[in-house]
Amino acid sequence: MPYFLIVVIVLIALLVFTSVRVLNEYERAVMFTLGRFTGVRGPGLIILWPIIQRMSKVDLRVIVLNVPKQDVITRDNVSVKVNAVVYFRIVDPAKAIIQVANAWEATSQVAQTTLRSVLGQHEMDDLLSQRDKLNADIQRILDENTEAWGIKVANVELKDVDLDETMVRAMARQAEAERNRRAKVINAEGERQAAQTLVEAAKALAQQSSALQLRYLQTLADISHDKSQLIIFPLPLDLIGPLIGRGGTPPQA
């Protein structure tokens, strides 16, 4: 009789141990009674009826999903390899268990196909300069596709865009040509502004003869400080005008 009592106590302890569950704050239990969905419970202490009930535990925290590199052909026929990171969380535990067999794997597959589809509609320059817009487009499409599974896609980030060596060299040549073009445009603009300034200065000097004489004296002062043995002395035309008018013969005393 004592042995029978010990066996009964052990069986009861095992039943209690297998019937009691404790869920953390970020966990929920999807309950099934005789195979039928009977609600979502948790967090805290949960008691299951042995044999009759079972539960599937769901984690509600944000999940970081690495999307492997995908071969993408852009709209301008450039072949690249792109990978991404998807941040999602389960907002409806019942749908995540009942509507899909493996929520993580399903989200990963949809993310891969969506990545190739969205990036294939854009040109190569967009992948490098409009990442924020592409991230938003991928996130929106993913969120629409996973909504039926009780999953909310919070964010999508493109990580690496790998190009082959031929394309890298072509882009380097293009960037160099663009830099040369900008340098020439800036140089031409500088020359145009300098010429315009000289024209305005010449007009201002022409309006005032005294200003022209002051400029002449300043030029002489600058020449006097030059240490060179060769000095070019500017001779105003108004001094040699009478000589030119008489055919080059010196005036008679």
Q: Which helix (H) or strand (E) holds 44?
A: strand 44-47
Cα separations in angstroms, 76 against 21, 118, 220: 57, 14, 65
- Two structure tokens written together for 39: 């609600």
Q: What is the pLDDT of residue 233?
A: 57
Burial of residue 252, with CB atoms counted within 10 A of its CB: 0-12 exposed, 13-18 middle, 19 or more buried: exposed
Q: What is the pLDDT of residue 85?
A: 95
Report how far residue 77's alpha carbon sits from residue 123's, in angstroms, rounded to the nearest whole number. Answer: 8
What local confidence, expressed as pLDDT, does residue 253 receive? 43
CB 41 within 8 A of CB 31: yes
pLDDT tens digit sequence for 8-34: 777 777 777 778 888 999 999 999 999
Reading phi first (left if > 0) and then psi (alpha if -120 to 50, else beta), residue 219 is in: alpha
Q: Is 241 left (phi over 0), alpha (psi -120 to 50) or beta?
A: alpha
What is the arrangement of strands in the sheet containing 36-41, beginning at the earlier edge strand? 36-41, 27-33, 53-59
Find out whether the peptide bond into 43 is cis, omega within 30 degrees of 0: yes
User: Taking the CB of residue 111, how many other CB atoms lie within 10 A of it?
Assistant: 27
Token pair for 115: 């990545």
Span 112-137, pLDDT tens digits: 999 999 998 988 888 888 889 999 99
25: number of Cβ within 10 Å = 10
Q: Which residues contact 248 (CB under 8 A, 6 or more apart)?
A: none
Task: State how far the Cα of 57 lies from the Cα of 120, in Å rounded to an integer.
Answer: 38
Per-position pLDDT tens, the chain of length 253: 577 777 777 777 777 777 888 899 999 999 999 989 999 998 888 888 888 889 999 999 999 999 999 888 888 888 888 999 999 999 999 999 999 999 899 999 999 999 999 998 988 888 888 889 999 999 999 999 999 999 999 999 998 888 776 665 666 677 777 778 888 889 888 888 888 887 877 777 667 666 666 666 666 666 666 666 565 655 555 555 555 555 545 555 4
Predicted local distance difference test score (pLDDT) of residue 63: 93
Beta strands 27-33 and 20-23, pairing class? unpaired
